[in-house]
Chain A
């Protein structure tokens, strides 16, 4: 009986955390105006998100042992993020294009890549994160690392211009009319081996 109580207690805590994570994710979508719900609900959704995230220790300082313990458990159990995949809508996808300028004046275009298909899905996930405003401080560092990987393969490249942008695929009717996807640059960086300067 005692062991059953322990199991039930764990069950309660575990699913309480899952519920909190899921609701926090859902309210965050509403607060970001990504849903069909009226914008009047934004402020309530933001408050509800904070409320849902409270049991996860998000309000505490990042050094708080409670916050860290909860975060460790969530990551260990694989329940740190909600289940809002491909929801509420599917935006365009992101593309990172490297313009490779060689010493002899040649110009080539290249994209970061892996050799396997499974890893290509991961790259898409990385690019989606780079497009997210929350990851803005990391953008330059990550793009620089990706440029460096290209440099390792082509040591004779003199300069690399990295352009990151959003690709909007055509709608069905646009596609039927022969329209193709459009590319909208968001940011670009120029890198050279000796000095890196942000544009």
Chain B
């Protein structure tokens, strides 16, 4: 019984370890940029993607019918179009408003204005678009929905947002910030573990042919095959390395000594995917997720903490820590500030006298 209680306590300490809100600020700003770029990238094709039969490339209604088969409760753009019809607005107008709203929400998230409302609306509009264009959706959409879902539930606003500057709000409970960061961290471990495992089960990742195929097929063929052929002996090594980096992620990202190396490898992999295959949205959302989950507050060899925040917040670590440590640290910081203020006052007095 005592052992069970201890394990329960350990689990709580692991899940609710105190955290600063710096990671949340990185996550919010990153997702704001992502939403902004998503909306701008699809600007010219928005109506072609989401119009009904006779106007779009593939009818929105078809995608929505397929989604409704899974569940009629899944949000879709058709709901907004139907609502707009009640108000006397045409389909094109509603779609344009939805796009403009998404763009606006991206800007709001970027600067941190009405953070919570912006995160909810951005999640809802993106989900509607992703589900209505279900046949045309790809991996980046799932990750964007997932990231916006977590952002919406996270304890916004963070102290870097306009919201917290306008309205002096209390700092969110550090253990809640820690919980949502843990959720993000563990989710990424699932993503890479299963991604790596599935790749290891394919022969093409062992001999490099999968890398070759993925880089020469349209629309990912940004690099000329002639250039790739020059590196043909490196392809099997790269293929196996990708599998090992992904499958090893859930282990090596938690070990302090290997965390920096693994994060750099993963970020480099996503940057390469973006630059060599043109999957910018996918690469960007994965980089944001990794930076928010493991990058912020991480110790960089020879430099120190990476964007760990200021003062008491700089000591945040990703490993499990005693919950009481946070409170003590904050008190220590306040005491050191008071000491510094007193010293400054004394110096000023002595200068006067």
Least Cβ–Cβ distance between A173 and chain B, in angstroms:
9
Q: Can you spell out 27 A-B residue pairs with CB atoms less than 8 angstroms apart?
A: A22-B190, A26-B198, A36-B203, A62-B69, A68-B70, A71-B71, A75-B71, A76-B74, A77-B146, A78-B147, A78-B148, A81-B142, A82-B198, A84-B198, A87-B201, A87-B205, A88-B199, A88-B204, A89-B202, A93-B218, A114-B49, A118-B281, A119-B136, A124-B138, A125-B137, A126-B135, A172-B228
Q: Which of B17-25, B53-61, B164-172 contacts A (4 or more CB under 8 A)?
A: B53-61
The docked-state distance in angstroms from the alpha carbon of A2 to that of B75 is 31
Least Cβ–Cβ distance between B36 and chain A, in angstroms:
13
Chain A positions 87-137 with a Cβ under 8 Å from a chain B Cβ: 87-90, 92-93, 112, 114-126, 129
Q: Does A40 contact B (CB under 8 A)?
A: no
Q: Does A175 contact B (CB under 8 A)?
A: yes
Contact check, A119 vs B197: say whether CB atoms are below 8 A apart. Answer: no
Least Cβ–Cβ distance between A3 and chain B, in angstroms:
9
Contact check, B127 vs A76: say whether CB atoms are below 8 A apart. Answer: yes
Least Cβ–Cβ distance between B152 and chain A, in angstroms:
10
Q: Does B210 contact A (CB under 8 A)?
A: yes
| Interface secondary structure of B, over-half rule | helix
Identify the closest chain B residue to A112 (Cβ): B57
Contact check, A35 vs B48: say whether CB atoms are below 8 A apart. Answer: no
Chain A residues contacting B198 (CB-CB under 8 Å) are 25-26, 29, 82-84, 87-88
Contact check, B15 vs A7: say whether CB atoms are below 8 A apart. Answer: yes
Q: Which of A143-151, A155-163, A183-191 contacts B (4 or more CB under 8 A)?
A: A143-151
List 4 other contacts, CB 8 Å, given A75-B145, A89-B203, A122-B136: A79-B146, A85-B139, A86-B210, A172-B208
* A89-B210, A121-B138, A126-B58 given; A75·B190 CB < 8 A: no
Contact check, A121 vs B279: say whether CB atoms are below 8 A apart. Answer: yes
Residue in A25, A90, A145 whose CB lies within 8 Å of B210:
A90
Contacts between chains A and B (CB distance < 8 A), count: 217
Residues of A within 8 A of B (CB): 4, 7-8, 11, 14-15, 18-19, 22, 25-26, 29-30, 34-37, 62, 67-69, 71-72, 75-90, 92-93, 112, 114-126, 129, 138, 141-142, 145-146, 148-149, 152, 167, 169, 171-172, 175-176
Least Cβ–Cβ distance between A111 and chain B, in angstroms:
10
Q: Does B251 contact A (CB under 8 A)?
A: no
Q: Does B44 contact A (CB under 8 A)?
A: yes
Contact check, A129 vs B135: say whether CB atoms are below 8 A apart. Answer: yes
* A78-B145, A79-B146, A116-B42 given; A19·B190 CB < 8 A: yes
The docked-state distance in angstroms from the alpha carbon of A93 to that of B142 is 22
Report B107-125 CB contacts with A as 1/0, cut-off 8 Å. 0000000000000000000
Contact check, A118 vs B219: say whether CB atoms are below 8 A apart. Answer: no
The docked-state distance in angstroms from the alpha carbon of A80 to that of B229 is 37
Contact check, B149 vs A26: say whether CB atoms are below 8 A apart. Answer: no
Contact check, A75 vs B199: say whether CB atoms are below 8 A apart. Answer: no
Contact check, B202 vs A93: say whether CB atoms are below 8 A apart. Answer: no
The docked-state distance in angstroms from the alpha carbon of A141 to that of B41 is 27
Contact check, A11 vs B195: say whether CB atoms are below 8 A apart. Answer: no
Identify the closest chain B residue to A35 (Cβ): B201
Residue in B12, B15, B201 whose CB lies within 8 Å of A30:
B201
Q: Does B179 contact A (CB under 8 A)?
A: yes
The docked-state distance in angstroms from the alpha carbon of A90 to that of B200 is 13
Least Cβ–Cβ distance between B324 and chain A, in angstroms:
15
Residues of B within 8 A of A (CB): 11-12, 15-16, 38, 41-45, 48-49, 53-54, 56-59, 62, 66-67, 69-75, 127, 131, 133, 135-139, 141-149, 179, 183, 186-187, 190-192, 194-195, 197-205, 208-210, 212-214, 216-219, 225, 228-229, 232, 235, 278-281
* A76-B127, A169-B216, A172-B232 given; A119·B149 CB < 8 A: no
Contact check, A77 vs B15: say whether CB atoms are below 8 A apart. Answer: no
Chain B residues contacting A122 (CB-CB under 8 Å) are 49, 133, 136-138
Least Cβ–Cβ distance between A82 and chain B, in angstroms:
6
* A26-B197, A76-B149, A119-B45 given; A145·B62 CB < 8 A: yes
Identify the closest chain A residue to B57 (Cβ): A149
Identify the closest chain A residue to B136 (Cβ): A122
* A86-B214, A89-B202 given; A121·B57 CB < 8 A: no
Chain B residues contacting A176 (CB-CB under 8 Å) are 229
Chain A residues contacting B49 (CB-CB under 8 Å) are 114, 119, 122
Residue in A90, A118, A129 whose CB lies within 8 Å of B42:
A118
Contact check, A78 vs B218: say whether CB atoms are below 8 A apart. Answer: no
Chain B residues contacting A71 (CB-CB under 8 Å) are 70-71, 74
Least Cβ–Cβ distance between B225 and chain A, in angstroms:
6
Contact check, B202 vs A36: say whether CB atoms are below 8 A apart. Answer: yes
Chain B residues contacting A86 (CB-CB under 8 Å) are 199, 210, 214
Residue in A22, A78, A84, A118 whose CB lies within 8 Å of B146:
A78
Contact check, A68 vs B71: say whether CB atoms are below 8 A apart. Answer: yes
Q: In the A-B complex, list the 3 residue pairs whose CB atoms are closest, starting with the nearest.
A: A88-B202, A78-B145, A78-B146
